[in-house]
Amino acid sequence: MTALIGGIVLLFFDKNIQGYATIGTGMASLVAAFTIGRVSQARERRKPEA
């Protein structure tokens, strides 16, 4: 969240490239965390209970 807010602040101060890069990095981190969590949950469901 800090990266997203920081990116918006950079955009506000006319630092377009840095702002978009910061927002993109923040979004990529959130997407990666979500994807890894979903894959982990799917693996847990497939485990046979013994």
Instruction: State the pTM of this model.
Output: 0.73
| Nearest one of 7, 1, 2 to 23, comparing CA atoms | 7
Q: How many distinct structural domains can be found in the chain?
A: 1
Instruction: Residue 18: give the domain boundaries.
Output: 2-46
| Per-residue tens of pLDDT for the chain, all 50 residues | 899 999 999 999 999 999 999 999 999 999 999 999 999 999 888 877 75
Report the 10 Å Cβ neighbour count for 30: 13
Structure confidence at residue 50 (pLDDT): 59
Structure confidence at residue 46 (pLDDT): 86
Structure confidence at residue 16 (pLDDT): 93
